[in-house]
Structure 1
Amino acid sequence: MRVLALSSGTSVDAIDVALADLTDAEGTLIMRPLGHAEVPWPEELRKRIVAALPPALPGAGEWCALDTLVGQAFGDAAAAASESLGPAELVVSHGQTLFHWVRDGRARGTLQVGAPAWIHARCGLPVVHDLRTADIAAGGHGAPLVSLLDQLWLGGTATAALNVGGIANVTLLGGADVVTGDTGPGNCLIDAAARAFDGRPYDAGGELAATGTVDRRALDLLLTDPFYAQPLPRSTGREHFHAGYVAERLAALPDSPTGPDLLATLTELTARTIAAQVRGVARVVVSGGGAHNRVLMSRLRELLPGVVTATSLGLDGDAKEAYLFAVLGYLAVRGLPGTAPRRLDRPDGPRCTGAARPVVLGSLTPPAPAPCEPATVPVSRLQILEEQP
């Protein structure tokens, strides 16, 4: 089945689109990547999305408008991808997260906008959407969902699969358990500091951080955030690490760092909080935009063993999350769970996200007919074929 996946992360920099050919046989999920693209957001819509993110309180009217406008933009991206990457049989949309509700260390709900009916109306294909809520309803965090792809693809070797997007997350593999969770800020605080300094959207390659000096007083104060003491699994987002977070945390500090020194300090914060959650592994496989930050990658190589990129192992690190959603959509229409087990010897037991049981993720628009027959054998490994040129 050819599956087209659409997603947009916490950085709201583009709509990620990936097309994959997926099939399964005797417990093996086989994926051939067919192409990846980044579709720029219409600038005015991107500004509205960013303005609606925490700590803003936009109200139900703006949420309603964004649900429609984001759905229409995703529909346009799906139609354009069908022209450039090739036809699909199924669309999977993660949508754009506006709020991830976590209280007392437990996820209570999550909100992604991008009404799937608009995507279906634009491209005529069935759409899998709302990929996180079922896991939360089963007691999980609804994140990081990439842990399933990590377990199927990289399981068997003592590995930490690290994704550094706006928020960084890690999946620890190799033993009897699968452990996952958000480590804390990835690029989100760095991006906000870069914008405040000179208007650039992010610190490309770590250029600004490379000219700064880490402020140890500020770093130590930032590291006292109680979030870092919570055990995995855990989840977070811009609700916690919002654009004003750093100023609030450092308000009591005289002469707090600015400019390149602040960028260097926040890059070190990301590296240190990632490293604090990684233990007992032989390699660390990095994906996401943070893999392009040379200062961050240099610090990770100093702090952690065997740091490599997902791209070097055969899966484009910039497209990994989009391909994940293609996998989750395919499993959904096959009636298969979309989360990894907490213990590998209990495949039908509690999940590494914290959920009490396996659940099929997502809903289908329109609700019938399903685009394929249900599976009879669960998948236990992922084989990635060479990307089609």
Structure 2
Amino acid sequence: MRIIGMMSGTSYDAIDAVAVDITREGDALVIDPRGAISEPYPDELLAALAAQMPPATTSMEQVCRLDAGIGQAFARLAAKANDQLCDGQAEVIASHGQTVFHWVEGGTVHGTLQLGEPSWIAEATGCTVVSNFRSRDVSAGGQGAPLVSLFDTLWLRGMSGTPVALNLGGIANITVVSGEPIAFDTGPANALIDAAITSMTAGKQRYDHNGELGARGTVHAELLNRLLDEPYYSRPAPKTTGKELFHLPYLTAALADTGTQDLPAEDVIATLVRLTARTVTDAVRAVGGTSVVVSGGGTLNPTLMRDLEHELENVELRRSDELGLPSSMKEACAFAVLGYLSVHNLPATVPSCTGARHASILGSITPGTGGIQIQTAVPAPTTLSIVGVTAGRLNTEQKVRTAP
């Protein structure tokens, strides 16, 4: 089956589309990536989205406008991906959409909201669209995240020791693949770094390009300790978080508490980089991780990667690229797999990872021009393998985290 997986993460710097061919070999899913393209949101839409994100307040009018605008942006990229990567032959599009709010109180997730109306995608491509993946898990008592945990579990199950899959997006999350797998958000990855950069440059820069500012800075011990006092880190898994907690006012309050409002930008960024590396490492050590396979936009920050490698010390750190899956493609590829499972009537969650009462078939289905594409039921897969990706097969239009 040929599927396009689409998503925009908590950094909302771009929409990613990955085209994959998925086949079955016995109990294994075999993933053959055809290529990936990524485009930033149009400037006006990006500004509107940023203005409405927590802790900002909004209106139903703005939510409606964003839902349509994000859906149209996804639709344009979906049509482009179908044409350029699939020869117009995509069968299903799995769209994660854009998370704008994750409603967490007392460690319980009560709701989650992803915008990007899927009807625009179905209309633009004629394909069946699977969307709204998180809500079913939440309704079953789960956190609704990290949903990539099933992909990680199938993919890394055969590795020795206790492998850990790490994604460095706006928020960092891990999946621990050993015995009964667990997964949770460890805390901020790029969220606070990006918020600080955007504020300190008055919006001229939205992230630390090549980790240059962080590399020039010095970690401020008092500020770091203040940030590490966040109660979220000590909560037991499963747990999830987002920009509802880790946003600019959160950082501003920490700077005020420590009297570091005038700290040079380089030192603030260096401290936030160390915060990400430390909290990820603390989480990996707490679960006995012996190796870490990392993906996501944070892998493009050399300073963060150096700090992470230093903090992990004797724990092996590998990019997902080394296992055949480019780090920028990982999450969109995972949602393509979730879409495949949904249209085959197969559950796509791991209850021990999300905290749900049971595994669930995920998503809502929007019919394409040929009607709803539900496939013949097949047994649930137990492993996942990725066909080797060659440079010639990968689309070179990837623009993830490029300078604005």
Counterpart residue type for residue 329 of structure 2: A
Matched with 1:135 is: 137
Q: Counterpart of 1:126?
A: 128
CA distance in 2: counterparts of 1:352 and 1:197, whole angstroms: 37
Please point out which of 295, 302, 313 is paired with 1:294: 302
1:28-177 aligned within 5 A:
28-86=28-86, 87=88, 88-156=90-158, 157=160, 158-174=162-178, 176-177=179-180
The residue number in structure 2 matching 1:285 is: 293
Once residues 330 and 197 of structure 2 are traced to their aligned partners in structure 1, the CA distance between those partners, rounded to angstroms, is 25
Mapped partners of 1:303, 1:255: distance in 2:
24
2-structure distance, mates of 1:353, 1:320: 19
Pick aligned residue for 1:215 from 216, 220, 226 = 220
TM-score, normalised by the number of residues in structure 2: 0.91
- Equivalent-residue separation in structure 1 for 2:267 and 2:20 (angstroms): 42
CA contact (8 A) 2:367 2:373 kept: no
Match of 2:340 in 1: 330
CA distance in 2, matches of 1:119, 1:189: 32
Looking at structure 2, the residues matched to 124 and 173 of structure 1 have their Cα atoms a distance apart, in angstroms, of 37
Q: Give aligned-pair identity as a percent.
A: 45
- Alignment length, in residue pairs? 379
Residue pair 2:94, 2:335 contacting (<8 A) in 1 also: yes
Selected match of 2:274 from 248, 268, 280: 268
Residue 23 of structure 1 is matched in structure 2 by 23
1:160 aligned partner, one-letter code = V
Matched, 1:231 2:241: no
Q: Given the alignment, which residue of 255, 259, 262 partners 1:254?
A: 259
Residue in structure 2 matching 1:317, options 307, 324, 327: 327
CA RMSD of aligned residues (A): 1.4
Would you tell me which structure has more helix in proportion to its own residues? 2
**Per-residue displacement from partner, 1:8-60 (whole Å, max 9, x unpaired)?**
11111111010000122422111100001111211101111111100111111
Give secondary structure in 1 for the equivalent of 2:352.
coil
CA deviations over 1:288-333 (Å, ceiling 9, x no partner): 1111211211121122210110011111101100101100000000
Kept in 2: contact 1:26–1:377 (CA 8 A): no
Distance 1:205 1:94 in 2: 27
Counterpart-to-counterpart distance in 1, 2:91 and 2:260: 57
The aligned residue for residue 306 of structure 1 is 316
The SS at the match of 2:339 is helix
Displacement after TM superposition at 1:369 (Å):
4.2
The answer as to whether partners of 2:13 and 2:40 remain within 8 angstroms in 1 is yes
- The CA distance in 2 between the partners of 1:67 and 1:295, in whole Å, is 35
- Which of these residues, 181, 184, 187, is aligned with residue 187 of structure 2? 184
The residue that corresponds to 1:346 in the other structure is: none
Letter in structure 1 aligned against 2:163: T
Deviation of 1:203 after TM superposition, in Å, equals: 0.6
Deviation of residue 196 (structure 1)?
2.0
Structure 2 residue identity aligned to 1:13: D
- Contact map agreement 1:222 1:250 (CA 8 A) in 2: no
Rounded to whole Å, the distance in 2 between the matches of 1:238 and 1:247 is 14
Residues 351/24 of structure 1: CA separation in 2 closer, same or farther (3 Å cut) = farther
The alignment partner of 1:68 has SS state of helix
CA distance in 2, matches of 1:196, 1:264: 16
Q: Helix, strand or coil: the match of 1:245?
A: helix
Is the 2:217–2:266 Cα contact (8 Å) retained in structure 1?
Answer: yes
Q: Return the match for 1:373 from 368, 372, 375.
A: 375
Residues 178-228 of structure 1: CA deviation (Å, up to 9, x unaligned): 011000000011111112223311112211011111000001011111111
CA contact (8 A) 2:92 2:129 kept: yes
User: Is the 1:351–1:358 contact (alpha carbons within 8 Å) kept by the matching residues of 2?
Assistant: no
> Residue 159 of structure 1 contacts residue 285 of structure 1 at CA under 8 Å; is this kept in 2?
yes
Query: Aligned equivalents of 1:387 and 1:266: distance in 2?
Result: 34
Rate the CA distance shift 1:253–1:281 in 2: closer, same or farther, 3 A: closer
Aligned to 1:347: none
Using the alignment, how far apart are the partners of 2:29 and 2:70 within structure 1? 31
Mark the runs of 5 or more structure 1 residues left unpaired by the alignment. Answer: 341-349
**Over residues 93-116 of structure 1, what are the superposed CA-to-partner deviations in whole Å (9 max), with x where a residue is unaligned?**
101111011110011110011111
Q: Deviations over 1:329-377 (max 9, x none)?
A: 000000111113xxxxxxxxx4311011010010100299442423231
- For structure 1, which segment, 196-205 or 16-25, has the greater mean C-alpha deviation from structure 2 after superposition? 196-205
